[in-house]
Structure 1
């Protein structure tokens, strides 16, 4: 059975300290206050392995996310209509696609990067991401950035 990824919104006090430190380390790296993962991990008091274990799974939630964008990379089967299904999913949640990039498929699998703008009429963003991940032919979804 395929593992299902769910998204949750929890209060800061419910998040384990190691995850909060991963967010802090990511901020240090993104703001160029430290040049390496090792230095960021040491500064916040976690191991590098903890940082790498959780770095793609936690990020700050912005209450006022309207007008913001996020970028996802999706690997999906290279079959007619599968990309159209992803685009229809974004439309269903009334979000706006800013950019689409598809690399040349390799071994029947296409890599697609979508930059999506969240509008004031956009539905639940967590549900949108979940729906994209469950779309026909999708093997993998990764959130690359949030702005």
Structure 2
């Protein structure tokens, strides 16, 4: 089998079955459907049609481009990470994931994955604000 190739195609020109498969996948991901059979039925397609296309059709997510990782070194004091989270909240960032290492020499490495589509400040200003929080040794966008 050759290299997999992808196309970005307007859904309006595709057969309706493709949209129904995306709809069924949405039911499964949201938990509205507990099985592929139930999701296919809710979307109005046969189970066999769903299984034929389920691993080949994906909805394009425009928001994926604004996902950013912030790496920071924080002093192991109560409230430092909370203050960083609050600054992200105030900027309008959507926090997707937080990973923190066990502190070594009183410093913890933290990686925060955020979606910045609703932020009111530039990434440079956001990092600057985070760096000014007491207990933050460093912060950078990666």
Alpha carbon RMSD of aligned pairs, Å?
Answer: 2.0
Query: Is 1:140 matched up with 2:138?
Result: yes
Could you say what secondary structure the match of 2:73 adopts? strand
For 1:127 and 1:143, how far apart are their aligned partners in 2? 11
- Conserved in 2, the CA contact under 8 Å of 1:66 and 1:118? no
Q: Which has the higher helix share?
A: 2
Which residue does the alignment assign to 2:99? 101
Q: Rg bigger for which structure? A: 2
Structure 1 segments, 4+ long, off by >3 Å, are 64-67
Structure with larger RCO (C-alpha < 8 A, sep 6+): 1
Which is worse superposed, 86-95 or 134-143?
A: 134-143
Which residue does the alignment assign to 1:124? 121
- Conserved in 2, the CA contact under 8 Å of 1:67 and 1:118? no
Show structure 2 runs of 5+ residues with no match.
1-61
1:113 counterpart (104, 111, 114):
111
Deviation, structure 1 residue 139 = 0.8
